[in-house]
Amino acid sequence: MLAVAVWSVMIVIMTCAWLVLWSFPPLWPLLTVYLIWARWIDDSPERGGRRSRWLRSSRFWMYFADYYPASMMKEEDLPADRPYVFGYHPHGIIGMGALATFATEATGFSVGFPGIKPHLLTLSSNFQMPFYRDILLALGVCSVSKQSCSNILKSGPGFAITIVVGGAAESLSARPGTADLTLRKRLGFIKLAIQHGADLVPVFSFGENDIYEQMPNEKGTTVYALQRKFQSIFGFTLPLFHGRGLLNYNLGLMPYRRQIIAVIGKPIRVTKCDKPTLEEVMRVQTKYIEELTRIWNTYKDTFAKARLRELNIIE
């Protein structure tokens, strides 16, 4: 519980540490150099990060995963002779299952898929925060920009990226017992996979939407309108959500203790093409959605017994 609590407020901790260090004048030159380097010189977020096996394998993440508990289930071996694009669904509020599975070794990814080097992708704005950015880079987390994706996939066989496909828009639909995916208009990651000859691997994370409660924000409500306006301005949104606290189970920022199981499906082979047509992209997307739907139908009665409705691709 302490591990999850610490990570839930890690941005706040790193921001406070940054401000405290500025209260010591002798550190100003060093902090200024770091700031210039981090903001304008270091391009690690676009170049594959600075993976630290020690940090990814830290016992801290074992405790983090055991809290829910979070685990991984693979359906098929993935040979390390080609690159991969993992599509992670659903987005959830924060994506704790994606972090545990693809940014750490807490669920045994390297044991299950030897030779595959996963890179979880996130918004570039997360790398503007001092110190926090360095933790992300050490976990192998990189920018979700097109250039970053291309650089990783071109690094060689076995390199992989994980894109939480639904993005900010889907987080607004994240509620316990539901699986509403923003997917049909998301063609960029499929086109990217075709251009680099990377196999597409759909991942459905049962329980990802169950760890936080969210305020009602259906289309037509004031809350929904404000959130979409915020997203259009800043590129991301802030769902109005709550979890539990350290000493209570009703209100707080910690996620609820509910099981998360990331089922990694069967890969979809693609033929490399530098300029794929829209028809080809749509054809591969159809196969991708079929595989994702198969995963849901296969495991929903085992891992989603308390669901309120079936899988729904909303847009």
pLDDT in tens, 155-169: 999 999 999 998 877
Mapping DSSP to helix (H, G, I), strand (E, B) and coil, where does residue 136 land?
helix
pLDDT 10s digits, 17-75: 999 999 999 999 999 999 999 999 999 999 999 999 999 999 999 999 999 999 999 99
- Band (251; pLDDT cuts 50, 70, 90): confident
For tokens 């809290």, the residue is: 67
Q: Which residue has the higher pLDDT, 172 or 38?
A: 38
CA distance 21 to 34: 12
CA distance 11 to 29: 23
Q: What is the pLDDT of residue 238?
A: 67
CA distance 297 to 304: 10
Describe the chain by its helix, strand, coil percentages, rounded to 5. 45, 15, 40
The CB-based long-range contact list for 108-111 (8 Å cut-off, 24+ gap) reads 108/72, 109/72
Evaluate whether 71 touches 203 at the Cβ level (below 8 Å): no
Bridge partners, 52 (sequence order): none
Residue 131 CA neighbour count, 13 Å, CB half: 13
Q: Which residue has the higher pLDDT, 229 or 135?
A: 135
Least confident of 48-62, 80-94, 142-156, 231-245: 231-245
- Could you give the angle at the alpha carbon of 8 between the alpha carbons of 225 and 97, nearest 5°? 80
Burial tier of 73 (Cβ tally within 10 Å: 0-12, 13-18, 19+)? middle
pLDDT 10s digits, 116-167: 999 999 999 899 999 999 999 999 999 999 999 999 999 999 999 999 998 8
End-to-end CA distance of the chain: 36
- Band (171; pLDDT cuts 50, 70, 90): confident
Q: What is the pLDDT of residue 219?
A: 67
Q: What DSSP state is assigned to residue 25?
A: G
- Band (4; pLDDT cuts 50, 70, 90): very high
Distance set, CA 15 to CA 121, 145, 242 (Å)? 22, 24, 22
On the question of pLDDT at 222 being above 80, the answer is no
In the chain, what percentage of residues exceed pLDDT 70? Answer: 97
In the chain, what percentage of residues exceed pLDDT 90? Answer: 82
Q: Residue 259's domain spans which residues?
A: 2-313
For tokens 């959605």, the residue is: 289
SS3 string of 33-50? HHHHHHHHHCCHHHCCCC
pLDDT 10s digits, 288-308: 999 999 999 999 999 999 999
What's the number of domains the chain is made of? 1
The enclosing domain of 93 has a CATH number of 3.40.1130
Q: What is the pLDDT of residue 115?
A: 96
Evaluate whether 153 touches 192 at the Cβ level (below 8 Å): yes
Structure tokens at 301: 């009665």
Q: What is the pLDDT of residue 239?
A: 73
